[in-house]
Amino acid sequence: MTKQTRKARSRLRRSSGRLLATGALACAVLLSSTACSKGGRDYAVPGDLCGVAVDSQLVSPLLPDGRKLTQRSSDAGATSRRCRVSVDDNLVLYISSDLVSPDTDPLKVQDRGLQRLGHPAPADIGDAARVADRGAMAVADCTTGGDKKRIATLIQLGKEHPEDTSQRRKDLTQLLRAYLPKAMASLDCRRA
C-alpha cells in the first residue's frame, strides 16, 4: 500500500467517524424532540368547560396527551347545556346538564346508559349520583324562577384515561362533585 493510499484511507476514516458522530447526534436530537411531543401535552388544560368554571387540576387527570384541545358547546335550549372536549379531534369528554321536572328520576331514565358506561355505583354527590368506569351522573333538586326543578349532570369519557379504572372513577367523582353546583348556577337554578 502506498503512502498516498494510506493517507486517503486515514482521511476517509476520520471524515466517516465525524459523519457518524454527527448522524448519531442528529438522531438523538430527533428522537428526544419526537418523544417529547408524542408523549406529552402540547396544550394548556382549561380552567373551564365550555364556559363553566372548574379547577383545571380536576380536569387534567381525565385528559390524554396530545397537541390541541378544543371545546365546543351546543345550545340545547334554556334548560340544557352540552359541552364536547376533544384532543386532536378525538372526543375525550362529553358533559350535559339538564333541568327536568322534580318528579323525574334521571338516574332511572339513564340506567341502561350508565350500565353501558361500566359498573355504576352510588356516590355522595348532590342528592343522588352514580359513578361508572367511563362516566358519572349526579342529580340535585333546585329552584328557578320560583319553580322546583331537578338538575341532572352527566360526564362521559371518550377514552379510558387514565388507564387505572379505580383512579379514573375517583377523578370522575371529584370533577362531578365540583362541576355540579357550577352547572346549576349556569342554568340559574338555586339549591332547594
Provide block-wise average pLDDT over 10 residues at a time, the chain (192 residues).
54 49 40 48 96 96 97 89 97 97 95 96 97 97 95 95 94 97 95 78
Q: Are residues 97 and 166 in the same domain?
A: yes
Q: Contact 47/54 with Cβ under 8 angstroms?
A: yes
43 within domain boundaries = no
Q: Are residues 20 and 53 in the same domain?
A: no
The structural domain count of the chain equals 2
pLDDT of 77 reads 84
User: By C-alpha distance, which of 78, 88, 41, 68 is closest to 187?
Assistant: 78
End-to-end CA distance of the chain: 99
165 within domain boundaries = yes
Alpha carbons within 13 A on the beta-carbon side of 136: 24
The pTM is what? Answer: 0.78
Q: Which domain holds residue 20?
A: 1-38
User: By C-alpha distance, which of 72, 137, 57, 66 is closest to 100?
Assistant: 137
Residue 136 has a CB neighbour count (10 Å cut-off) of: 29
